[in-house]
Structure 1
């Protein structure tokens, strides 16, 4: 398959990443070939290497991009100060909204960790720890204020992130509950989970 006329790096590169993300989310990283990705983009398989080093590099780039976008969005959204319960509510709503708009990226970022090389896994884990650290700091603040009762803030951090990310697996716009209603219910569950 020949390269499409007018194909340029600034167009083909993003199309390549979007196609790979869709295919990895739908079929799984291991089941998707570079040839399939190339066909989806409309270029020859060999042409993909003008944009990526290899399939593993592509997976890592997608996952790292998701985590970097998450950290950037949180940094822009993070409330500068306030009591821990208000900050926890803000975090819960932020997490649900951010992930609800990125179903494929969330699925790939959580389900394909097993397919990363050890070095790529370590780099991604460092980014994940930075984000988890933001929530853990809120929980520690809540304990210091006496507003939360938690036996282990690290375990609570992991449990809350898993619960909030889980919304992405079942929520659909136009369903029985609106996203705002789901957020309200989840915020209440989060508050109860931390012993507020």
Structure 2
């Protein structure tokens, strides 16, 4: 069958990734077929293989893209100052980066179990880089005598889980504005670690 008009790799490739992201976030990786993704994009199922070798690679590419964007944005945020100032910056950064991306967050955190061992290991390295950035802030705060933390690794994971969890309940246009929610969360983070 001939290629559909307007089906070009620079247009269709991103459409394939966007459709896969939406469908996986809505139904879960295991429930989504390549045929469903193709139908969502409006191409033949066989044409998907021009853009990805298989569904596993597509999932990995979605997660890797999210983590790459996250690490680059964190680097660009250039958090400086005291540990307390850096922790506030990290908190605000995490919320502002993740809140507009509920599908990416869901897929990146909830579909890890569906990665192959090799792909999981690659994503885990990237996730560890992000976690280490927060943990180094917590260690600096301990060294400065402003944080009292029983275990920096456990606290790192708990804080990231708490901050990421906002996406599970937050809805734009709700009772509180994003800035207010961010301020409330920053206050909770600060209270949980300060001496």
Same fold (TM over 0.5): yes
How far, CA to CA, are the matches of 2:27 and 2:101 in structure 1?
Answer: 17
Q: Indicate the residue corresponding to 2:31 in structure 1.
A: 31
Count of aligned residue pairs for this structure pair:
195
Q: Indicate the residue corresponding to 1:139 in structure 2.
A: 138
Q: Indicate the residue corresponding to 2:190 in structure 1.
A: 191
Q: 8 Å contact 1:2–1:44 — kept in the other structure?
A: no
Map 1:77-156 onto structure 2 (within 5 A).
77-79=77-79, 81-156=80-155
Q: Which blocks of at least 5 consecutive residues in structure 2 are unaligned?
A: none
Q: Post-superposition shift, 1:2?
A: 6.0
1:61 aligns with 2:61: yes
How far, CA to CA, are the matches of 2:6 and 2:158 in structure 1?
Answer: 48
How far, CA to CA, are the matches of 1:159 and 1:37 in structure 2?
Answer: 34
How far, CA to CA, are the matches of 2:47 and 2:76 in structure 1?
Answer: 37
How far, CA to CA, are the matches of 1:3 and 1:74 in structure 2?
Answer: 40
Q: Indicate the residue corresponding to 1:166 in structure 2.
A: 165
Q: 8 Å contact 1:142–1:148 — kept in the other structure?
A: yes
Q: Post-superposition shift, 1:4?
A: 2.3
Q: TM-score under structure 1 normalisation?
A: 0.97
Q: TM-score under structure 2 normalisation?
A: 0.98
Runs of 4 or more consecutive aligned structure 1 residues displaced over 3 Å after TM superposition: none
Deviations 1:144-166 (A, max 9, x none): 00000001101100000000000
Q: Which blocks of at least 5 consecutive residues in structure 1 are unaligned?
A: none
How far, CA to CA, are the matches of 1:37 and 1:175 in structure 2?
Answer: 31
